[in-house]
A and B are shown apart, each in its own frame.
Chain A
Amino acid sequence: TQLLEQSPQFLSIQEGENLTVYCNSSSVFSSLQWYRQEPGEGPVLLVTVVTGGEVKKLKRLTFQFGDARKDSSLHITAAQPGDTGLYLCANKLSFGAGTTVTVRA
């Protein structure tokens, strides 16, 4: 089981600002998933990345997979209150502890 470390643990920003959260491992990922979870609900899959160096965009969200496939980042441009939630990275059945993002109006 790969240990997935996410940073920061908490992030609070003003609406309109940008943010980046990170997911790291000492091992090489075969693939990596990013989920968003709102309070009291189940996580929702945002994206899966599989190729080193891969960049995927989902509206204002940009996901990057490191060249060595050991790390990944999620960047949100012009954050909105609707982006508030717990962002989890996962490698199949192993999940990181998540980054709690709060976007203040």
Chain B
Amino acid sequence: SQTIHQWPATLVQPVGSPLSLECTVEGTSNPNLYWYRQAAGRGLQLLFYSVGIGQISSEVPQNLSASRPQDRQFILSSKKLLLSDSGFYLCAWSLMGPETQYFGPGTRLLVL
């Protein structure tokens, strides 16, 4: 069966520090991968998606970047965090298209 992992689960970082969040998928090959950010109790904002290794599409211009170094690994990064980067970051995967997405447990990021 397929599983999706995210780590860390919780992160507290100072403003201006770098960020690296990791997402890995097991039990499937060549998935589409997605990064979303969610404000408290609200909807999801798509940040990046990837249809293959090294292929990244950015939906929202900001100080975040994403990389896909391996088929089932998706990384969200920042060189210098802003207060506004705080939120709940969710990774998801799908096979045929975005109509059926499977989400990871999320990473809660607090920038102070």
Contacts and interface: CB of A to CB of B under 8 A. Distances in A.
A and B co-occur in one complex: yes
Interface of A: 4, 6, 31, 33, 40-45, 48, 86, 88, 90, 92-98, 100
Contacts, number: 50
A40 B98 contact: no
The 3 A-B pairs at the shortest CB distance, nearest first, are namely A42-B103, A92-B98, A97-B43
Contact of A86 (B41, B90, B101): B41
B44 A95 contact: yes
Contacts of A93: 34, 46, 49, 59, 98
Interface string B72-112: 00000000000000000010100001111111111010000
Number of contact residues on B: which range applies? 20 to 34
Contacts of A4: 43
A42 B41 contact: no
B100 A45 contact: yes
17 contacts: A33-B101, A40-B105, A41-B106, A42-B105, A42-B106, A45-B102, A48-B100, A90-B44, A92-B97, A92-B98, A93-B34, A93-B59, A94-B46, A95-B36, A95-B44, A97-B42, A100-B41
A96 B43 contact: yes
Interface of B: 34, 36, 41-46, 49, 59, 90, 92, 97-106, 108
A57 B103 CA distance: 23
Contacts of A48: 99-100
Contacts of B103: 42-44
A44 B90 CA distance: 12
A97 B45 CA distance: 10
Contacts of B44: 43, 88, 90, 95
Contacts of B42: 97-98
